[in-house]
């Protein structure tokens, strides 16, 4: 089963920035859960797919952006 992209360009930028900040803060504070949360956000930005968006039927991706 191939899942459609559901994360739009603006959403990807926001997730990338927040993910990087969370990873950096996690290393600074030695908090593994912040590092994991940041990596998950960065991964969803890279892949363009978010599992929670699928569960709730949300998509921030325009039709032309979907692959």
pLDDT for the residue numbered 2: 75
Termini Cα distance of the chain: 13
The one-character DSSP state at 64 is G
Given this model, what pLDDT does residue 62 score? Answer: 83
Q: At 29, is the pLDDT very low, low, confident or very high (cuts 50, 70, 90)? A: very high
CA atoms within 13 A on the CB side of 38: 16
Q: What are the pLDDT digits (tens) for 32-50?
A: 999 999 999 999 999 999 9
Tell which residue, 16, 22, 60, 18, has the closest CA to residue 42.
16
Query: Is pLDDT above 90 for 30?
Result: yes
Helix (H) or strand (E) holding 11: helix 9-29
pLDDT in tens, 54-65: 899 999 988 755
């Amino acid at each position: 089963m191939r899942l459609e992209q559901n994360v739009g360009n603006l959403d990807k930028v926001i997730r990338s920035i927040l993910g990087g900040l969370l990873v950096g803060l996690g290393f600074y504070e030695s908090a593994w859960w912040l590092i994991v949360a940041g990596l998950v956000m960065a991964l969803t930005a890279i892949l363009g797919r978010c599992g929670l968006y699928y569960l709730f039927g949300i998509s921030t991706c325009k039709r032309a952006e979907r692959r």
